Amino acid sequence: MLDKILLYIPQRNRFERIWKIAQVDFKKNFYNNKLGLLWAFLNPLLKLLIYYFAFTFLMERVREGIDNFALFLFSALIFWMEFTRTLKTGMRVIDKKRYLIENIKIRKVDLFISLAISSFLAFIFNLIAYMLIAFVFKTHFSINILVLPILIINLYLITIGLSMILSVLYLIVRDIVHLVDIMILFGFWTSGIMFPSELVLVKIPILYYINPFMGLFTNIRAVLVYDSEINIAIMNINLLTGIILVIIGYNILNLYSKKAFEYL
């Protein structure tokens, strides 16, 4: 269906094609469900509530010494869930939309741009769910909230950069999905989702700079939870990491994806 729609869009109108693919992907995720867009809101809200009860009542020691643990957890969790969901989709996007590349000659990178757009449309509902919970906890937001778009862009730079790299590897070695699942699990427990990232700085300082999510979560919480000072140095390092990943991913996609198709 998507390829038929795109056939009616002129070849020169690249951005309209990207937007149309993003729209179709977003609608496929939610409009095919009986609850439609309501599910886009209920899904993150229910997940956050489950995590809240699990870590509030079942793992009391985890939250010792952490002020406002519910928001502390949720603020990082919504970003991590978005990262894992988009990464897993992006890893397969070249394989699943190969027909667009071959029949309509769409640029491979455009598939990742449309993925970022459709993922962001869904992510907005996660943010709304968080803001509602923050309102219940009477959280105060200051001018620091203006930094949030930069942090979101940073998230997608990292995610799309890794997605482009993994999408090529996936064409060659399908078993990479198992390794990615393990790395995601490892990242969940080591990125400071359930504990302050600064604790890692004391034990393993270099890891704080290698793993961009540690610094990202620190600044996200500064904006969404504690209204504290932004770590500008870490934010710049994280942005640079994201840009480098996108450059590497873009080059791998252009240089090796065509050859990787031969493995199919």
Separation between Cα atoms, residue 173 and residue 264, nearest integer Å: 10
Separation between Cα atoms, residue 182 and residue 254, nearest integer Å: 27
Helical packing angle, 212-224 and 69-96, nearest 10°: 130
Q: Which residues contact 105 (CB under 8 A, 6 or more apart)?
A: 11
Half-sphere exposure of 250 (CA within 13 A, CB side): 12
CA 22, 28, 75 angle in degrees (round to 5)?
A: 70
Find the length of the chain.
264
**Any idea where the domains of the chain sit in the sequence?**
14-263
Among 28-42, 73-87, 207-221, 224-238, the least confident range: 28-42
CB 66 within 8 A of CB 196: yes
Residues 79-128: tens digit of each pLDDT: 999 999 999 999 989 888 887 777 766 788 888 999 999 899 889 988 98
Per 3-state DSSP, what percentage of the chain is helix, strand, and coil (rounded to 5)? 80, 0, 20
CA-wise closest residue to 133 among 71, 44, 221: 71
Which residue, chain included where needed, has tokens 């198709």?
261
CA 190, 151, 193 angle in degrees (round to 5)?
A: 20
CA distances (Å), origin 173, targets 148, 177, 216: 36, 9, 30
Higher pLDDT, 35 or 159: 159
Question: Which pLDDT band, with edges at 50, 70 and 90, does 64 fall under?
Answer: low
| pLDDT score of 16 more than 90 | no
Among 64-68, 185-189, 206-210, 241-245, the least confident range: 64-68
Q: Which residues contact 53 (CB under 8 A, 6 or more apart)?
A: none
Residues 154-203: tens digit of each pLDDT: 999 999 999 999 999 988 888 788 888 888 888 887 788 888 877 777 77
Separation between Cα atoms, residue 121 and residue 116, nearest integer Å: 9
- State both tokens at 153: 């862009």
CA distances (Å), origin 198, targets 66, 138, 158: 12, 25, 21
CA distances (Å), origin 146, targets 4, 76, 128, 212, 237: 40, 18, 16, 20, 19
